[in-house]
């Protein structure tokens, strides 16, 4: 099923992080915190201003983002747990050092 968020909302899939400590202790699902990183799966058209114009979003599909622990609304689509949130709930976009080096060159 395709999903298309409205206005300034985005759909994010949480990225599972390592569930093992540095010393090798495995953390069970019940004790692990939900990850605060995710991948953007879909973006809306943009935020509508009072004069009716639409300001496009800065995020795009495929971006890895950081967000707050309680950000967004959890929904299930085709058995998969996703988050729907506003763009303003995203703290930062994660980029790898490799892509930053390519941009600088």
Average pLDDT over residues 79-84: 90
pLDDT at 33: 56
CATH topology classification for 9-104: 10 Kd Chaperonin, Protein Cpn10; Chain O (2.30.33)
Can you spell out the DSSP letters for the chain? Answer: ------TTEEEEEEPPPP-B-TTSPBPPTTTSPPPSEEEEEEE-S-EE-TTS-EEPPS--TT-EEEE-TT-SEEEEETTEEEEEEEGGGEEEEE--HHHHHHHH-
Q: How confident is the model at residue 10 (pLDDT cuts 50, 70, 90)?
A: very high
* pLDDT-above-70 percentage for the chain: 73
Residue for token pair 């980029």: 95
Q: What is the pLDDT of residue 99?
A: 52
Q: Please state, as a whole number, how many other Cβ atoms lie within 10 Å of the Cβ of residue 83.
A: 19
Residue 65 or 35, more confident: 65
pLDDT (average), residues 4-14 = 91
Model confidence at 75: pLDDT above 70: yes
């Amino acid at each position: 099923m395709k999903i298309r968020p409205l206005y300034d909302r985005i759909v994010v899939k949480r990225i599972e992080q390592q569930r093992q400590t540095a010393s090798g202790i495995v953390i069970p699902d019940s004790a692990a915190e939900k990850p605060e990183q995710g991948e953007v799966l879909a973006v809306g058209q943009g935020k509508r201003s009072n004069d009716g114009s639409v300001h496009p979003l800065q995020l795009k599909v495929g971006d890895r983002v950081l967000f707050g622990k309680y950000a967004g609304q959890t929904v299930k689509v085709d058995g998969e747990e996703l988050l729907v949130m506003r763009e303003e709930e995203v703290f930062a976009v994660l980029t790898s050092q490799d892509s930053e080096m390519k941009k600088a060159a």
